[in-house]
Amino acid sequence: MKYFTSAAANKWIKSLEDEKSFYISLEDTANVYILAEGEEIEKPDYDYEQVNGEIAKLDYKVRKIRHAINIFNATTVLEGLNITIDEALVMMAQLNNRKNKLDCMRRRLPKERVNPMVSRAKSYVEYEYANYDINKVKVDYQQISEEITKIQLALDMCNQTKTFEINIE
């Protein structure tokens, strides 16, 4: 049983995934070989049982670590926000989606020409008008940006300082 921060646990997962990638690459390149008639057999150094076993061990470790992270995220309340990490992650995704929409809206001009091409068939010019208060959208955009930053800073602090146990036995 070991104790990790969320950041350290995710780095450990990355390391295990890199190691698994090595075994998968080995398996992809060495699980078959080509031999011409009359050639001496030179099999690549590959042991299916060993490679399969190593991949299974790595998958088991990653599964245990991810499960521990999920429990940590579901039960750890962020200081100053009074919400769990998993709720904060969902909230950040929602806020980022809203922020992206507001970003488009705040860039709009109050009045924009729709059809810049004037043809002989059309002798009039069309305009599109913003049907909302652009300044209010700018304020809301700024508030959402600040809220996202506040959540991100709380997550960063928690991921770097709070530990949880991971049991891979």
Per-residue pLDDT tens over the stretch 26-66: 999 998 888 888 888 888 889 999 999 999 999 999 999 99
Q: Is 150 exposed, middle or buried (0-12, 13-18, 19+ CB in 10 A)?
A: middle
Per-domain residue ranges for the chain? 2-166
Read off the pTM: 0.80
Place of tokens 């050639």: 39
Residues 28/131, Cβ–Cβ less than 8 Å: no
- Please give the sequence-ordered ranges of beta strands (E in DSSP) within the chain, or none if there are none: 2-5, 111-113, 127-129, 163-166
Q: What distances in angstroms separate CA 85 from CA 28, 29, 94, 135, one per listed residue?
A: 39, 41, 14, 32
**pLDDT tens track for 114-155:** 876 666 666 678 899 999 999 999 999 999 999 999 999 999
